[in-house]
């Protein structure tokens, strides 16, 4: 299998994530965009592991991907709690409305 397919997919997902981060104003959607970026990293790691270094005795790439999945879950949990708390205080999850403090 060629490396080009998985890498294109990963790059596409990463770009969608970056776009969502810039264009979306809803905090939940911003969080989803970041998760998309993390998924693209996982695709990268697993593709490199299996297609570039198939014989290596240590499976660094796949271990890394597993850790990213676990940490991303923790991040999403904390992030949704923070967004939920913000919603209870301000009745909005729009990141543009969160502007009490300006320099």
Partner 1 sequence: MLIDWLAIAPEIALTVTALLVLLADLNLRGQAKQLVAGVAAVGTVVALVFTLILWGDERSTFGGTFVVNEYAVVFKVLFLGSLLAILGISWRFFAEGRYFQGEYYFLLLTSFIGMIIMPSARDLLLLFVALETVSIPAFIMAGMRKRSLYSSEAAMKFFLIGVLSVALMLFGMSIVYGFTGTTYLPDIAASIAALGTVDPLLAAAIMLVIVGFGFKISAVPFHFWAPDTYSGSPLPVAAMLAVASKAAGFAGLLAIAFIAFEPVAELWAPVLGVIAIVTMTLGNLVALQQRDLIRLLAYSSVAQAGYMLIPFGLARSGAAQVNDAAVQAVLFYLIAYAVMNIGAFGVAIAVHRRTGMRSISDYAGLASKSPLMAMAMTTFLLSLGGAPPTVGLWAKFAIVQAALTDVTGFAILLMVFLVINSVIAFFYYLKVVKTMWMDSAPEGLPALQPGFNLSLVVFVLLVGTVLLGVLPGLVSDATSLTGLAVG
Contact 47, 3 (CB under 8 A): yes
| Minimum CB distance to partner 1, residue 68 (Å) | 6
DSSP 53: -
Q: Which contacts qualify for 89-95: CB closer than 8 Å, 24 or more apart?
A: 93/26, 93/27, 93/28, 94/25, 94/26, 94/27, 95/25, 95/26, 95/27, 95/30
Between 8 and 56, name the residue whose CB sits nearer to partner 1. Answer: 56
Which residues in this chain contact partner 1 in the complex, by CB under 8 A?
14, 17, 21, 27, 30-31, 34, 37-38, 40-41, 44-45, 48, 52-53, 56, 58, 60-61, 63-64, 67-68, 71, 74-75, 78-79, 81-83, 85-86, 89-90, 95, 98, 100-101, 103
Between 23 and 60, name the residue whose CB sits nearer to partner 1. Answer: 60
| Minimum CB distance to partner 1, residue 5 (Å) | 15
What tokens does 33 get? 């965009």
């Amino acid at each position: 299998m060629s490396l080009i397919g998985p890498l294109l997919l990963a790059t596409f997902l990463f770009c969608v994530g970056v776009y969502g981060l810039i264009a979306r104003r809803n905090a939940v959607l911003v969080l989803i965009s970041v998760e998309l970026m993390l998924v693209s990293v996982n695709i990268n790691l697993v593709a490199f592991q299996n297609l570039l270094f198939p014989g290596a005795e240590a499976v660094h790439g796949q271990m890394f991907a597993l850790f990213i999945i676990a940490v991303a879950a923790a991040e999403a949990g904390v992030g949704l709690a923070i967004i939920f708390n913000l919603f209870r205080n301000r009745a909005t999850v729009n990141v543009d409305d969160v502007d009490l403090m300006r320099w």
